[in-house]
Chain A
Amino acid sequence: MVISPVHYIALPLLAAFLMPLLAKVNRELVRIIPGVVLTYLLFVSVVLMQRVTETGQPIIETLAGWQAPWGINLVFSQFTGFLVSLMVFMATLIWIFSYRFKKVDNEPALKYYILFMMLVTGSVGVVLTGDIFNMFVFMEITAIASYSLTSFYRDRDGAEAGFKYLLIGSLASTFMLLAILLLYTQVGTLNMAMIAERMHTVPVGMKVTILILFLTGLGIEAEMFPLNGWAPDAYSQAPSPVGATFAALVVKAGVYSLIRVIFTLFDIQGAYQYLIIMGIITLIIAEFAAMKQTNLKRMLAYSSIGQMGFVLIAFGIGTKEAVFGALFLMFNHAIIKSLLFMSGSFFVYNSTSKDIKGLSGIGKKFPYMGFLFSIGAFAIVGLPPFSGFWSKLYILIAAADESMLALVAIILLVSIVEIVYYFRVVAKLYFGKPTDKEVVHKPTFGGYFSMTVLAVVILLVGFYPDIITGFIHRAADTLLDKGAYISNVLSVGH
């Protein structure tokens, strides 16, 4: 079998729809098949990344034999490849984490894994596709799977969170559809490279209208203010592995689509300033809201929104260093926030309430889990020996290079807020008075394994950032080189 980017989309989708049949053969297959598929995709990632790095050229896959401007194509460049590999890596770890997950019995396990595979298909497809309408379709696949996963538990307020998410999400998708329609009437094509090429013929007023519709539609998944009302509810009501999935896959797909639209499709200068302003508002509001939260998962959700604001700021600065920092932060956010969600969920599971107050002294009962959570907390606020430090540092340097000193000040001030609320939790874990009422649930072996892997990655990248910076540098170069994207995509088959 020839390894190609199509496998990223075809295999999880096939697995998702075959699983109800396979469940009839053997119940255990339901849990094993996603792992097999994801492990194979991890192998595909390694092979394709190697190929892309060696040749320096993106792999462009035309589907159904139609060449670029007419058919749908998949673009596996150093930028999209990096994001896709990150997503598949995280999805594999989340699968290991949720294998034999406590509350997932046999019957719900089938639904859970089907939706999980759909989520992987959708968010990987958003990143790989080179067609704007195809991106919309994958966005919707991701969104519908997310709505269902948010309301997965019947005994929680999941349905309420899911309905909120669905309301915002489906309005957003309507806006995106309108944007695609207007764009199509203006440029007469749906291929993103072709759109980028013909964009200069579109009148400015129309361009701004389309861009605003796109930003409204895509800002939802990217958790951009003021479209992020769904996030705290969804993160806190969804099963814990799903919280990690949102942080590692869904939000990444959202940010990717936002960046692709602004960086490749449109060439409006003001869009970058808009990103910075929205990023600052998102960052400040989310971090202060996080400080006020009493519920651990809601706090993590607000912190996640804040990090996305940070990413938007970095992309808004728009220089090579800033984009590098933004991609680095996306990578860090995926691994660190997943670790925090995974370890935090065990604390919540073992305490009487979901509140931070209820976590008092729990770090003494689970020393290892407390250690992992602390690593995550230290990494995300950006303490030196951890990976979070480097991304924050690079973004600050990039901002200082552009002499945006007010921005540097804001970021540093907000970091203090971040430190306050994360250290408050860590302090509660270790120095609080332990309550001895709780029933002790041990994490599964898979849970221990995936959290340990994440902690090791955080430390490794913290000590040797060079193992990852090469990939991120090339990814940033690829993203910024719009001309190469257009010529590479359109030259296939000519």
Chain B
Amino acid sequence: MDPILYNKIISVGVYGSAIGLILIGLYAVLVKKHLTKIVIGLSIIDAGVHLLFIAVGFIKGGTAPIFSEKGIELVNQGTAMVDPVPQALVLTAIVIGFGVTAVALSLVIRLYRHHHTARIDHIKSLKW
């Protein structure tokens, strides 16, 4: 296959699936009534954003951004390095997302024990 076309298909696929994940997650958060499904939706949005981060930092044929003999040799030969910053950011964002999901699930358990239901439209002791 033509390499330019191939690259285009790959990048459309990656960006498209990242945005698709974000939209699927948003749909789950906004439409679903079950608390756990909402939390899953939040995680899916997170995954989409993380994929977008990685896709932005990626350079085709680039080597790993590690300061090693092999790495320096490759760079001297003209190989580009993948941008390390988005990868570092994604690691941090994953950890934060994990923390938020853990807190969210513990709140779901608490809500379930308190109200004996996990449907968000049945829990309305606080109103505007």
Report A's interface with B, CB cutoff 8 A.
Answer: 133, 137, 140, 143-144, 147-148, 151, 154, 157, 159-164, 166-167, 170-171, 173-174, 177-178, 180-181, 184-185, 190, 229, 232-233, 236-237, 289
| Contact yes or no, A166 B96, CB < 8 A | no
Q: Is B33 an interface residue (CB 8 A)?
A: no
| Contact yes or no, A167 B29, CB < 8 A | yes
The chain A residue sitting closest to B114, CB to CB, is A159
| Contact yes or no, B29 A162, CB < 8 A | no
Whole-angstrom distance between the Cβ of B128 and the nearest chain A Cβ: 7
Q: Is B110 an interface residue (CB 8 A)?
A: yes
Task: Give Cα A236 to B93, complex, Å.
Answer: 30
B126 proximity list for chain A (CB < 8 A)? 157, 160-161, 164, 233, 236-237
Interface string of B82-115 (1 = CB under 8 A from A): 0001100100110010011001100110110010
**Majority-rule SS of B interface residues:** helix
What is the number of residues of chain B that contact chain A, defined by CB distance less than 8 Å?
30
Q: Which of B22, B85, B107 contacts A166 (CB 8 A)?
A: B107
Whole-angstrom distance between the Cβ of B94 and the nearest chain A Cβ: 11
Q: Which of A151, A162, A181, A184 contacts B49 (CB 8 A)?
A: A181
B42 proximity list for chain A (CB < 8 A)? 167, 170-171
| Contact yes or no, B85 A184, CB < 8 A | yes
Q: Which of B46, B49, B96, B128 contacts A137 (CB 8 A)?
A: B96
B81 proximity list for chain A (CB < 8 A)? none
Task: Give Cα A144 to B52, complex, Å.
Answer: 24
Q: Which of A133, A144, A160, A237 contacts B100 (CB 8 A)?
A: A144
Task: Give Cα A487 to B49, complex, Å.
Answer: 33
Whole-angstrom distance between the Cβ of A8 and the nearest chain B Cβ: 20
| Contact yes or no, A167 B93, CB < 8 A | no
| Contact yes or no, A144 B92, CB < 8 A | no
The chain B residue sitting closest to A171, CB to CB, is B29
Whole-angstrom distance between the Cβ of B32 and the nearest chain A Cβ: 12
A-B pairs with lowest CB-CB distance, top 4 = A159-B110, A140-B96, A163-B107, A159-B111
